[in-house]
Chains A and B, each alone.
Chain A
Amino acid sequence: MMFWVIQTLNGISFGMLLFLLASGLSLIYGLMKILNLTHGSFYLLGGYIGLAVVHLTGSLLLAVLVGSLSIALLGALMERFLLRRFHLQELPQTLLTFGFLFIFSDLAIVIWGGNPQTMPKPAMFSESVQFGAFFYPSYRLFIIGFGFAIAGLLWWMQEGTRVGAMLRAGVDDEETARALGINVSLLFTMVFALGAFLAALGGVMGGPIMGVYPGADFEVMLLGFVVVIIGGLGSLKGALAGGLIVGLLDNFGKVFFPEFALFTIFAPMALILAVRPAGLFGRE
């Protein structure tokens, strides 16, 4: 019993980090149809900047804020000055975002060196919680709560605010949204920045569990893709469900079929592609 509880919590906490990553990827795709290959770099740079802030000020809260907001700005600039020119042209977009994947990963090596780094945990979550024989790292529980809070916040933004209404209109039919007087151009920049923000947030929050290291950009980008393929691109619900599914599949796959660790994620992905090409919550 204990075993199942602990393994499920592991899966959910990892799934929440994947959700942070995939929600941005999914939002950006939903509105702009951009396959953002730089998304993993946003995650990695967010982590590195957060780490630099921790070393400088010792404040983790500041690290989260500075790390994710600076990457949001970076995302906004990329969208405004580069990606914008290639609206709906997937080839230049792919080349651009893949190029920046290389540039940012090399830049991170120039600035921070190539050694893996460890992000400290906030003091209040450094211990494990214990209920009787049950024993679990409190930081992972915090990640689960935090992930759900972000999901709720995004949900409210999408469904309950004016910006959200504009966003939904833009996703449904960009032309009509323009005709209705929605500032689609501003919306694009905002959404791209938000996506970058979420990825960087994942990088800072995931730092105390996974560390910050060269190559993480590539690894998390691929996981992010699997999540959105399973969940469905352009859907918040899909990113959350996909994140949880992949997190749990990955966890129980490692436990029961350790030799096929990657396969327990990829096989369901292929299956879903065969049955529902648009993903669980994507629109056909």
Chain B
Amino acid sequence: MTNLLPHMSGRKFAVIALIGTAVLLALPYFLPPYYLGLVIKMMIFALFAMSLDLLLGYTGMASLGHAAYFGMAAYVTGLLALKLGWSVWLTLPAGILMAALTALLLGLLALRTRGSYFLMITLALSQVVWGIAFGWRSLTGGDDGLPEVPRPNLPLPWSMADSTPFYYFVLFFVVVGTLLLVRIVSSPFGCALRGIRESETRMLALGYNVWRYKLAVFVLAAAFAGLAGCLYVFNNRFVSPDYIHVARSAEVLLMVILGGAGTLIGPALGAAAIVLLENIISTYTERWLMILGFVYVLVALFTPNGLTGLIESLRKRRSGP
């Protein structure tokens, strides 16, 4: 479990995880609906950011097109729920599956490159997906997107249209997603990924089929991004091409780096911070985009290892050399 935060014992982690879960479970009892809505958004983006971290932090592959999978799943889920009225137990897996399949296809093209070239290819390919969502009006509604997607209808006494039950619905999937991610990064597969991050050539020499590992993790990361996208479409009850835009891919990259790539908790915190910033700062200033721009620049300049890295280095300084 050392992967969630570096230098943390299993017991300490268990305590923190327990407290965190308890707080999240209790939130609806003291947060008004609007703020609960913000927390839902934070949790969804936390999952989205953690999925990118699987690529970026654990395998060393920086993608600038991760929103393509988020958006692809959102469209598939939204369309199936809206036009065919499928239940959530079908639309959710269908969305995730479609995200994974898209990643498989685009990954075959993108994975032949690396570094900044990989960044550019993933950006360009995500733009193709955006172009389809934008251009295929009869199916996707074009620029206006698909409104009126219904919330899931579960055989439970509570309606998902209310914010509290829906909060628990999202919390359930985010927790399951996180546990799976923790499981993946601490498995032998996760170790291999870290090995690839450190040195591809060494992994090749050790007999690993590096390319196959990279494709596998690319598809896996897309599947988790897809889960986040499905939850987001249920939350907003609409989907539009904006879900896939490059700006969103860049935003989730920022969340990961702001929080600290290579830990799962870091990107989750980064996501929460950015969602909060966007919703609070833009209320008070018309210069929100400039401020966001400076956030990007400052993160690049001063917190290359993210918030978690900052905390680590502060702790090290305090405890002496």
Contacts and interface: CB of A to CB of B under 8 A. Distances in A.
The answer to whether any beta carbons of A and B sit under 8 Å apart in the complex is yes
Nearest to B118: A90
Nearest to B298: A99
B116 A99 contact: no
B315 interface: no
Interface string A125-153: 00000000000000000000000000000
Interface in A42-98: 82, 85-86, 89-96, 98
Q: Determine the interface band of chain A, counting residues with CB < 8 A from chain B.
A: 35 or more
A123 interface: no
Contacts of A191: none
Contacts of A100: 293, 297
B117 interface: yes
Contacts of B261: 91
Contacts of A213: none
Given A96-B300, A229-B124, A270-B109, A29 B294 contact: no
Given A99-B293, A99-B297, A106-B287, A91 B257 contact: yes
A102 B296 CA distance: 9
Nearest to A98: B250
B295 A99 contact: yes
B257 A95 contact: yes
Contacts of A89: 304
B300 A233 contact: no
A266 B295 CA distance: 32
Given A102-B292, A266-B128, A34 B254 contact: no
Contact of A29 (B116, B290, B293, B299): B116
B299 to A, nearest CB: 6
A106 B293 contact: yes
A261 to B, nearest CB: 8
Interface-central residue, B56, B289, B300, by most chain A CB under 10 Å: B300
A173 interface: no
Interface in B27-55: none
Contact of B115 (A90, A103, A259): A90
A112 interface: no
A35 B116 contact: yes
A253 to B, nearest CB: 12
B227 interface: no
B119 interface: yes
A261 B116 CA distance: 28
B113 interface: yes
A34 B250 CA distance: 16
Interface in A155-199: none
Interface in B102-140: 108-110, 112-113, 115-117, 119-121, 123-125, 127-128, 131, 134-135
Contacts of A277: 109, 112-113
Given A260-B135, A269-B124, A273-B121, A95 B296 contact: yes
Nearest to A37: B250
Given A90-B115, A274-B109, A277-B113, A222 B127 contact: yes
B67 interface: no
B117 A233 contact: yes
A270 B123 CA distance: 12
Nearest to A218: B246
A225 B300 contact: no
B182 interface: no
B62 interface: yes
B21 to A, nearest CB: 31
Interface of B: 56, 62, 64, 108-110, 112-113, 115-117, 119-121, 123-125, 127-128, 131, 134-135, 246, 250, 253-254, 257, 261, 287, 289-290, 292-297, 299-301, 304
Q: Which 5 A-B pairs have the closest CB atoms?
A: A99-B296, A102-B293, A103-B293, A95-B300, A99-B297
Given A106-B289, A107-B290, 19 more contacts: A29-B116, A82-B301, A86-B300, A91-B261, A95-B257, A95-B300, A96-B296, A96-B300, A102-B293, A103-B297, A110-B290, A218-B246, A225-B124, A229-B121, A261-B135, A262-B135, A266-B127, A273-B110, A273-B112
Interface of A: 29, 33-35, 82, 85-86, 89-96, 98-107, 110, 218, 222, 225-226, 228-229, 233, 259-263, 266, 269-270, 273-274, 277
14 contacts: A29-B116, A91-B304, A92-B304, A93-B116, A94-B250, A99-B295, A102-B292, A102-B293, A106-B290, A229-B120, A229-B124, A269-B128, A270-B128, A277-B109
